[in-house]
């Protein structure tokens, strides 16, 4: 699971039949250095959302095969899935 900040939403006029009515977010992932600086520094990506994340929200997301796992046995063509909304992120230095 990775952490990202939501910067917008996506509207589709055509979608795969299994994804009609889905909500899509644009988010920027954090690296460890970005988390320490509290500034996202990854490449933007589109994430499927059913939790209702809003603009500026910090989310945890899964990618790849794990992105479609919550829908099993149904199959959905997803690359990224919003798995949780984060209230607080604490980054500490290793001992």
> What are the residue ranges spanned by the domains of the chain?
2-86
Helices (H), the chain: 32-37, 65-68
pLDDT at 66: 83
Structure pTM? 0.87
Q: What is the pLDDT of residues 73-83, one digit of tens each?
A: 888 888 999 99
Q: What is the pLDDT of residues 3-56, one digit of tens each?
A: 999 999 999 888 888 888 889 999 999 999 999 999 999 999 999 999 999 999
pLDDT at 86: 97
Q: Is 82 in contact with 47 (CB distance < 8 Å)?
A: yes
* Residue 95 reports pLDDT greater than 80: no
Residues 2-86, CATH architecture: Beta Barrel (2.40)
Separation of alpha carbons 92 and 14, rounded Å: 44
């Amino acid at each position: 699971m990775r952490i990202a900040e939501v910067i917008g939403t996506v509207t589709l006029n055509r979608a795969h039949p299994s994804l009609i009515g889905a909500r899509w977010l644009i988010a920027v992932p954090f690296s460890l250095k970005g988390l320490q600086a509290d500034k996202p520094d990854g490449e933007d990506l589109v994430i499927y959302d059913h939790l209702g994340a809003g603009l500026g929200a910090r989310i945890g997301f899964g990618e790849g095969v794990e992105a479609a796992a919550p829908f099993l046995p149904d199959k959905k063509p997803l690359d990224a899935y919003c798995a949780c909304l984060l209230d607080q992120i604490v980054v500490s230095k290793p001992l």
